[in-house]
Amino acid sequence: MTEDSEKVSVLFVCMGNICRSPTAEGVFRHHVAEAGLDHLFEIDSAGTHAYHVGEPPDRRAQEAATRRGFSLVDIRARRVAEDDFERFRHIIAMDEDNLVMLREQADPAQRDKIRLFLEFGSGPETEVPDPYYGGAKGFERVLDLVEDASRGLLELLRQR
């Protein structure tokens, strides 16, 4: 990565954009800033559904993130837009259902940029579980997975 290279654009996507994808956005932003690379990245999140457009992340997601030093306060839910497929170089789905929806929505030439987030993690899991209907432990588990995959994604992007 060089100073004069085009910004690396990353969009994290889950269903409603209030739990997993804003957590991924906040954690990845933190790691990128910590590495001194925030000026080289465009990072955002969105949902495949419009259930919560304009809302902040789930209170439980914010509290869990804050306990670990991550901020989600400036994030507001939005739905994936048609131009996101052109705008973002990396579109990262939290689970298989959202991966399928994104690939169906994208033009065939754009489908290769859509991947599962945990492909970048070190564990055996393939999906970030939706913590919405569970308790606090679910949000902590999401953070564990997101932190690990964020480090892996950043390392991969730094090598390019």
Q: Tell me, yes or no, if 20 is annotated catalytic.
A: yes
pLDDT in the model for residue 41: 98
Joined together, the tokens standing for residue 139 give 């949000």
Asked if 14 is an active-site residue, the reply is yes
Catalytic residue among 19, 20, 29, 60: 20
Q: Is the pTM of this model over 0.85?
A: yes
The domains located in the chain, with CATH, are 8-159 (3.40.50.2300)
Q: How confident is the model over 39-50, as a mean pLDDT?
A: 97
160: confidence class by pLDDT, cuts 50, 70, 90: confident
pLDDT digits (tens, 9 = 90+) for 112-136: 999 999 999 999 999 999 999 998 8
Q: How many C-beta atoms surround the C-beta of residue 60 within 10 A?
A: 19
> With contact defined as beta carbons under 8 Å apart, do 72 and 26 qualify?
yes
With cut-offs at 50, 70 and 90, classify the pLDDT of residue 92. Answer: very high
Q: What is the pLDDT of residues 63-74, one digit of tens each?
A: 999 999 999 999
Active-site option among 44, 58, 84, 130:
130
pLDDT tens digit string along 4-41?
Answer: 458 999 999 999 999 999 999 999 999 999 999 999 99
Q: Say whether pLDDT at 80 is over 70.
A: yes
Give, in order, the Cα–Cα distances in Å from 1 to each of 59, 70, 77, 100.
35, 25, 30, 30
Residue with tokens 């929505």: 105
58 is catalytic: no
Q: What is the mean pLDDT of the chain?
A: 96
Interatomic CA distance for residues 136 and 65, integer angstroms: 11
DSSP character at residue 156: H
| Mean pLDDT within 94-110 | 97
**What pLDDT shows up at residue 2?**
47
